[in-house]
């Protein structure tokens, strides 16, 4: 059995190149009114391989090997442009007014709890 690690690594690399694209994970660039939006992803990958050969008795020969790869792909935001202005908009994190609206349900719950405690003490 002949081991071809360079060939194996090449095939793994080709697969990752074909899959780890913004278009595959998030989608194509798009326009929203006057804004052009380009999705941005973060890619992390790792490779590992090993091989060995030997034999237990004189004249016998054994070989073994293996390889593997792992990949993590995460959408992190959008590059947004309008005219000559370009900015980065993070995905999954809210800012400003949107962040305040996300806190409203918790705030309402605390107000109701506070009023209920006031009624119990009266």
What pLDDT was estimated at residue 11?
83
Residues whose CB is less than 8 angstroms from the CB of residue 77 and which lie 6 or more positions away in sequence, other chains included: 39, 40, 88, 89, 90, 91
**Tokens found for residue 94:** 């809210």
Q: What is the mean pLDDT of residues 76-92?
A: 86
Residue 13 pLDDT > 70: yes
* Contact call for residues 16 and 47 (beta carbons, < 8 A): no
pLDDT tens digits for range 26-83? 678 888 888 888 888 888 878 777 888 887 777 778 888 877 777 788 888 888 898 8
Tell me the pTM.
Answer: 0.48
**Tokens found for residue 93:** 């994190």
């Amino acid at each position: 059995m002949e081991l071809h690690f360079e060939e194996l690594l090449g095939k793994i690399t080709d697969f990752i190149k074909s899959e780890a694209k913004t278009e595959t994970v998030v989608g194509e660039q798009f326009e929203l009114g006057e804004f052009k939006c380009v999705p941005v992803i973060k890619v992390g990958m790792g490779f590992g391989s090993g091989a060995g050969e030997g034999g237990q008795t004189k004249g016998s020969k054994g070989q073994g090997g293996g390889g593997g790869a792992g990949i993590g792909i995460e959408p992190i935001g959008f590059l947004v442009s309008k005219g000559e202005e370009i900015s980065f908009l993070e995905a999954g994190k809210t800012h400003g007014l949107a962040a305040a609206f996300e806190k409203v349900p918790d705030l309402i719950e605390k107000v109701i709890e506070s009023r209920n405690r006031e009624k119990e003490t009266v």
